[in-house]
Chain A
């Protein structure tokens, strides 16, 4: 091997080393030894970096929900009723409830069409039961589930649950309002035969 080819080889090796080293550094920055939300972790036996609650502990902030707790039998409503709360409730109802309960609360949502057990209509004019249950009962159903419906406490925070309940009450009212209680300008829009109802 001539000295020229030897130095060429050395230069190539040096370049390769720099190149490989450079790549290594890049990967270190992109894959830092830290956990991101829901990233796997070999440190714990179950492979999760997010840790479940230990027994007999409560999550930070969950005490705040205590103010929003209303017993099943109580008809209290723990938040001030505002148009914003109703709007929020409408939005959350569409996201989390309408798949089964339907956009009108009649229990004809898309998932029911797919074969889910049909929930009772809570706006049914012929069945006042769910229109008469106290607010606390509705809160309990959303929080802990009922029948085929599992708990929605993980998906819907407590304030949103109350927003939804407010909206459900508005739905029940709107689906069962007698024409005589409508404001005159709205009543005029009704088809003529319906105004007697």
Chain B
């Protein structure tokens, strides 16, 4: 009986088998990559707000401390979005007639909330707490990026679980020396950060990696 398939089919069959595995792998990498990409995490996406508030102006140029507006960041789970009254502390005098700020004045007059668009949104099954991070020495800019250089607010970090765990496994690489450092937007890790961080972790009784990466630390 004559051969049905030519000798070259051996190669083609092997090649297509390999390609199938390769393509499935590539697809998997593609899906995982997509889930981590800004397309899905909303990283670096600037949101339109009712008033285009500039952190660059207020923090970078004017030198306001984060806590002037985000008053509850040291004592509660949420940093707090300031009430319209906080805007009016200055803007009842400064730019008091600017059309740009009319939504602020309207909110102040009518006692209706300004509906700011949330930029850093965690799923409801994550119980993040600002105060514990701030009080143990994790700086604002570690997660929020250089807010003092952001004319419009965007999410500088992916906020993926693996990103959280990255720090929970090695907290010493981000721990800062003083409260002042924590709120310093231009903080850079000193050269002996690895040594200092370990020391801060012991002094401040930071929990062990096993505890910090336990499910119930963040999911309750």
Contact = CB atoms under 8 A, between A and B. Distances in A.
A24 interface: no
Contact of A29 (B63, B71, B80, B124): B124
B86 A155 contact: yes
Interface residues of A, number: 29
B69 to A, nearest CB: 8
Nearest to A92: B67
B88 interface: yes
A36 B124 CA distance: 8
A48 B116 CA distance: 12
A58 interface: no
Given A47-B113, A99-B63, A148 B123 contact: no
Contact of B93 (A30, A36, A115): A115
B107 to A, nearest CB: 11
Question: Could you tell me the dominant secondary structure of chain B's interface residues?
Answer: loop
Contacts, number: 65
B94 A38 contact: no
A33 to B, nearest CB: 9
B90 A29 contact: no
A150 B85 contact: yes
B113 A46 contact: yes
Contact of A95 (B67, B80, B83): B67
B94 A114 contact: yes
A99 B124 contact: no
B125 to A, nearest CB: 5
B125 A32 contact: yes
B184 interface: no
Contact of B78 (A38, A149, A154): A38
Nearest to A46: B112
Contacts of B80: 37-38
Given A40-B115, A47-B113, A116-B93, A150 B62 contact: no
Contacts of A148: 92-93
Interface in A16-41: 29-32, 34, 36-38, 40
Given A30-B124, A31-B123, A155-B71, 13 more contacts: A30-B125, A46-B112, A95-B65, A96-B68, A99-B62, A99-B68, A111-B90, A116-B93, A149-B89, A150-B89, A154-B71, A154-B83, A155-B68
19 contacts: A29-B123, A30-B125, A32-B125, A34-B124, A36-B78, A36-B124, A46-B113, A95-B68, A96-B68, A99-B64, A99-B68, A111-B62, A114-B62, A115-B94, A117-B93, A149-B89, A154-B71, A154-B85, A155-B68
